[in-house]
Chain A
Amino acid sequence: MADPGLLVMRYAFPCAEISIQLGNITRKEYEEIEAALLAGRSLPQEKLEQFFPALTRRLKEVAERDGLSEYWSEDAIHTYFLKYHDEYIDKGDGMLGQMSPTEKELCRCTIGKVMEVKQEQIITLKTPNGNELVLGKYAGNIEEGDIVVSHRKFATEKLSAEQAATYGYP
């Protein structure tokens, strides 16, 4: 099982600059998250819940909705980002309602297959909607042929073929 804290950081980091604007984190804390991500280690749950309160609330909501025993778990994180995230975007929950149409599309999570990994871990991802370039450096070791999730053009994690199929990847 994946470390839930690390998964939260990988999915939430693309939004972390927004968290600075909202006053939920400082620039120093942002840098702390980035350094931990690059080192592949998580920060304490309590700290992450404080940094990302809206995400924490949504994890609790989807865990309750789907009868999951733990909101701070790989299951709940997948259930939120890969099953209900688009629904939250479309209904404009919280700050998600303030995104422009282009940013809403950027915010949706996409599952794709890694076709190429270039310098600086720039990945060509083949998705059902075509190829896109995403940044792989925060998601650990990503290789050609892996199936990965991208959120706001950042790769977040590798999925098994079985996991990907669960969330609609053909």
Chain B
Amino acid sequence: MCLVIPGKVKSVAGEKAIVDYEVEEREVGTALVPDVKVGEYVLVQAKMIVQVIPEEEAKAALETIKEAGEKHG
């Protein structure tokens, strides 16, 4: 899994992107990953995208987080 919860890039405009976290959307900066594309899964720190991660890693992480939430929720 990941320690940082991955999000999916919904849109990119200039040096800003909207990242979808299922429960909310956040506007973040893209300056550290300027070639990020819509549909990619990303890790965000301090409102900046810092890393694109492979879809299978992101989905596995989200699944684990969901399972943990169900166990504790």
Contact = CB atoms under 8 A, between A and B. Distances in A.
A153 interface: yes
B53 A102 contact: yes
A153 B48 CA distance: 10
Nearest to A132: B32
Contacts of A100: 1-2, 53, 57, 60-61
A133 B61 CA distance: 25
Interface in A104-147: 106, 118, 120, 122, 133-135, 138
A103 B2 contact: yes
A102 B51 contact: yes
B23 interface: no
B3 interface: yes
B43 interface: yes
B3 A153 contact: no
B13 interface: no
B60 A17 contact: no
Main secondary structure of the interface of A (DSSP, over half): helix
Contacts of B2: 98-100, 102-103
Contacts of B57: 100-102
Contact of B46 (A34, A95, A102, A133): A34
Most buried by A among B3, B33, B34: B3
Contacts of B38: none
A100 B45 CA distance: 16
B31 to A, nearest CB: 5
A15 B46 CA distance: 10
A99 B4 CA distance: 8
Contacts of B3: 15, 18, 21, 95, 98-99, 103
Interface string B54-69: 1001001100000000
Contacts of A101: 57
A17 B53 contact: no
Given A100-B60, A133-B32, 4 more contacts: A17-B45, A100-B57, A122-B32, A153-B51
* Nearest 4 A/B pairs, CB to CB: A153-B50, A100-B57, A102-B53, A18-B3
